[in-house]
Amino acid sequence: MLPAERKRRIVELVTAADGRSVEALADELGYSKATIRRDLQELESQGLIERSHGGAVPVTSVGHEQAYGQKEVQNLEAKRAIAERAVEELTEGQVVFFDAGTTTMQVAQSAPKDGSMLAVTNSPRLAVELGKEENDVKLTGGTLRRRTRSLVGPTAESFLERTNFDLLFLGANAVDVETGLTTPNEEEARVKELMVKRASRVVLVADATKIGERSFVTFADLSDIDMFITAGEIDDETRERFEAEDVTVVVATPEAPTL
Amino acid sequence: MLPAERKRRIVELVTAADGRSVEALADELGYSKATIRRDLQELESQGLIERSHGGAVPVTSVGHEQAYGQKEVQNLEAKRAIAERAVEELTEGQVVFFDAGTTTMQVAQSAPKDGSMLAVTNSPRLAVELGKEENDVKLTGGTLRRRTRSLVGPTAESFLERTNFDLLFLGANAVDVETGLTTPNEEEARVKELMVKRASRVVLVADATKIGERSFVTFADLSDIDMFITAGEIDDETRERFEAEDVTVVVATPEAPTL
DNA sequence: ACCTTATGTTACCCGCTGAGAGAAAACGAC
DNA sequence: GTCGTTTTCTCTCAGCGGGTAACATAAGGT
């Protein structure tokens, strides 16, 4: 691969996924970490990306200094591992709903784009990602929430009241065995509640940092979930409580699967 | 093979594949690497390609990452000029609909993001652009058409049947005094028709290359338009016919205003 | 016959890449 | 907060492949 082409792809990968680790880039592009770092250095000086320990993130349009630390980049690794596992749940011809969120974005990136499914989402970003090649994509419509870049409100809700899905990839800010799945925003909770109701099978994707967290509004109980794909350290109590509700718990490992 | 022909094919090969190695070019064209390098040197000095260690890549329109992956925006200068003029039509507190399209994308990029308007669009890409800072953004929802990246179908239509806008920035593939505004796709035409109907004021943005073109389905007549902002050479007949229908015709000039 | 232009060959130079040692940063525990 | 550990970053060096330039050769034009 040509250096210029490699740099272009780095920018693509980093901006599309809200950041990527040096290791992941080295892995995916087949170059050493040293080379990736040199590229990142150059790309940063060109203002195309922003570096942080462990990787790089897209340029933040305004002040919105994110100051990604190592932890955030590690979470990216975890999300990628989750995504790799999650796409195994896809089967030909399904109608699949992708919830808005950074973890589901990773799932969308890993998903095949060969037209084998009908993808539906409430996130414009995921819509653009999912629609890259052959897939059919539908968007719920509605009001764009800035924080999460998801569509909410009456338009989104009325869409979800008249549609049905085979599979749902659901994200969550907070997963707790007592309060269930919670999120800070009421409108968003309402939309998530509807998508859970409308899906035959619900796959929750959330890294372990979300476990034990509680937020404002509950939108689903543990029993609403069919499968929980996570990464990192999951405590035994949580796992048992999920399994008591017949939820399949899968812990994805960030190890590179193919070498 | 003639040298000129070889150079032309090199440019083709390089641009088609997002880059190509010297070795591959030498191989495919049946010349030594030395000759290919000499060609690349010349082609680079002409600005037709960009060299990179081991080969060459297509020219990149100034750092802006967006240029990658998708086809570069044609007539970018004209569209920028149109956009600069178009945003002058915005006033505080309006509900503004942005039609999907490359020209309207430029308008969206030039538009203030200070929360002074409610932006509505049928393009996920424009939604992301418009929602960058403070503005409220709503999306119609619907099925994503791959070619134009716009949302169409029943969901989009039903949204447009119950909403109203103060201002519409409308794009068009083809503008002709006889056939009116036309587009190749029926579903898209239907959506455009509805947005025109729902807007109090319609501003058509289209560079002069669209004038005189005709496409399959008509979605608006000249009389539906309130203002036509264009750039380039507009013939007198077209201008007169528009003005006879009380359309304000504005020709934006691509001169850089600040240097 | 001579010159010009185009192409290939060769030898040397330079830039890219990857590996490793030391410095720096981030994280977790206290 | 501070400390120690771990990970990542920076820097340097060496190897390799591509780039450059000079030269040789061949073809076409004058």
Interface test with B, best of A144, A160, A162 (most B CBs within 10 A): A144
User: What does the pLDDT average to over B234-257?
Assistant: 87
Q: Which residues of A touch B136 (CB under 8 A)?
A: 143-144
CA distances from B15 to A61, A186, A230, B48, B59 (A): 30, 49, 42, 9, 8
B4 C-beta less than 7 Å away from strand C: no
Mean pLDDT, residues B175-193 taken together: 94
Average pLDDT over residues B231-252: 93
Lowest mean pLDDT segment, chosen from A191-200, A226-235, B34-43: A226-235
Give the number of C-alpha atoms closer than 13 A to the C-alpha of residue A231, restricted to the C-beta side.
20
Question: What does the pLDDT look like over A180-205, one tens digit per residue?
Answer: 999 999 999 999 999 999 999 999 99
pLDDT digits (tens, 9 = 90+) for A148-177: 889 999 999 999 999 999 999 999 988 999
Share of chain B above pLDDT 70, in %: 92
Q: If phi over 0 gives left and psi between -120 and 50 gives alpha, with beta otherwise, what is residue B115?
A: left
- Residue B257 predicted with pLDDT over 50: no
Q: Do residues B171 and B205 lie in contact, with contact meaning Cβ atoms separated by under 8 Å?
A: yes
**Average pLDDT of A132-144?**
90
Residue A165's pLDDT is 97
A54 or A200, greater pLDDT: A200
pLDDT band at B69; cut points 50, 70, 90: very low
Measure the CA angle with vertex B115, ends B114 and B118; round to 5°.
135
CA distance A123 to A219: 18
Query: What's the pLDDT score for residue B135?
Result: 85
Distance CA B69, CA B95 (A): 32
The mean pLDDT value for B233-242 works out to 92
Tell me: pLDDT of B244 over 80.
yes
Element (DSSP H or E) covering residue B35: helix B33-45
For position A61, what pLDDT does the model report? 47
Question: Averaged over A108-129, what is the pLDDT?
Answer: 92
| Closest Cα in chain A, distance from residue B113 (Å) | 11
Radius of gyration (C-alpha) of chain A in whole angstroms: 18
Q: What is the mean pLDDT of chain A?
A: 89
pLDDT band at B73 (very low <50, low <70, confident <90, very high): low
pLDDT reported for residue B258: 43
Mean pLDDT on A239-253 = 92
B94-127 pLDDT tens trace: 999 999 999 999 999 999 988 889 999 999 999 9
Q: Which residues of A touch B143 (CB under 8 A)?
A: 136-138
Domains, chain B, in order of start with CATH, read 3-58 (1.10.10.10), 76-252 (3.40.50.1360)
Average pLDDT over residues B175-200: 95
Binned at pLDDT 50, 70 and 90, residue B50 comes out as very high
| pLDDT level of residue A62 (50, 70, 90 thresholds) | very low
Please compute the mean of the pLDDT values over residues A142-146 and round it to a whole number.
Answer: 91
Quick one: pLDDT at residue A171?
94
Phi, psi values for residue A169, rounded to 5°: -95, 110
Give the pLDDT confidence score for residue A205 in this predicted structure.
95
Q: Which residues of B touch A (CB under 8 A)?
A: 18-21, 50, 52-57, 60, 63, 65, 68-69, 124-125, 127-128, 131-133, 136-144, 146, 149, 151, 153, 155-156, 159
**Residue with token string 């979930």:** A225
pLDDT at residue A68, rounded to an integer = 64
Checking if the pLDDT of B6 tops 80, the result is yes
Q: Which nucleotides of D are covered by protein (CB under 7 A)?
A: 7-12, 17-22
Q: What pLDDT was estimated at residue B110?
A: 92
Would you place residue B67 in the very low, low, confident or very high pLDDT band (cuts 50, 70, 90)? very low
Nucleotides of C under 7 A from a protein CB: 6-10, 15-20, 25-28
A101-126 burial, b at 16+ Cβ within 10 Å, e below that, comes to: bbbbbbbbbbbebeeebbbbbbbbbb
Give residue A18's pLDDT.
Answer: 79
- Predicted confidence at residue A139, as pLDDT, reads 96
B162 touches strand C (CB under 7 A): no
Distances (CA, A) of A118 to A93, A105, A138, B144: 7, 16, 8, 11
CB A53 under 7 Å to nucleic chain C: yes
What is the distance in angstroms between the CA of the first residue and the CA of the last residue of chain A? 19
Position of tokens 């501003």?
Answer: B203
Name the average pLDDT for chain B.
Answer: 89
CB contact under 8 A, B141 and A142: yes
Sort out which chain B residues have CB atoms less than 8 A from A6's CB and list them: none
Confidence of residue A102 (pLDDT cuts 50, 70, 90): confident
Q: What's the whole-number mean pLDDT along residues B38-57?
A: 92
Return the pLDDT at A1: 87
Burial label for A161, CB within 10 Å (0-12, 13-18, 19+), is: exposed
Q: Which residues contact B35 (CB under 8 A, 6 or more apart)?
A: B26
* Closest-CA residue of chain A to B141: A141
Residue B71 scores a pLDDT above 70: no
